[in-house]
Amino acid sequence: MTDMRGAKIMMRILDFLRNIHEPVPVMEFTKLEFTGHREVDKHLMKVSLLMLQQLRHDGMIKCDDLDKTGARIHGLTSNGVGMHERFRDILNLRNLE
């Protein structure tokens, strides 16, 4: 059986990003998975920022310059919406097996 955890995590992220109707501060997004443990949360924030930078670089999200204070995420691009749909299809097919 194939492990689908990575696809499920990406789907959750894309769901959140697709449902942005008003720009969301980047710092608010990076805090979504916080645990309350200071060191762990510091690393989670770095991972979230790296992921956002990669999604922006790949043309999947619309957002301000992530290096600037007060940067906001505006949602998915048309490429990001397509990626979201592909992940949804993959997970739906997997659930049919």
Mean per-residue pLDDT over the chain, rounded: 89
Region 48-62: mean pLDDT is: 94
Closest by CA to 49, choosing from 65, 7, 78, 82, is: 65
pLDDT reading at 97 higher than 90: no
Flag whether 33 is in a domain.
yes
Flag whether 64 is in a domain.
yes
Flag whether 96 is in a domain.
no
Q: Please report which confidence band the pLDDT of residue 1 belongs to, taking 50, 70 and 90 as the band edges.
A: very low
Flag whether 97 is in a domain.
no
DSSP element (H, E) containing 21: none
Start-end of H helices in the chain? 5-18, 26-30, 38-57, 78-96
Tally the domains of the chain: 1
CATH number, residue 67: 1.10.10
Domain span including residue 74? 5-91
Instruction: Tell whether the torsion through CA atoms of 20, 14, 9 and 23 is positive or negative.
Output: negative
Q: Using only C-alpha atoms, what is the Rg of the chain?
A: 14
pLDDT attached to residue 73: 96
pLDDT reading at 54 higher than 90: yes
31-37-38-40 Cα dihedral, nearest 10 degrees:
-70
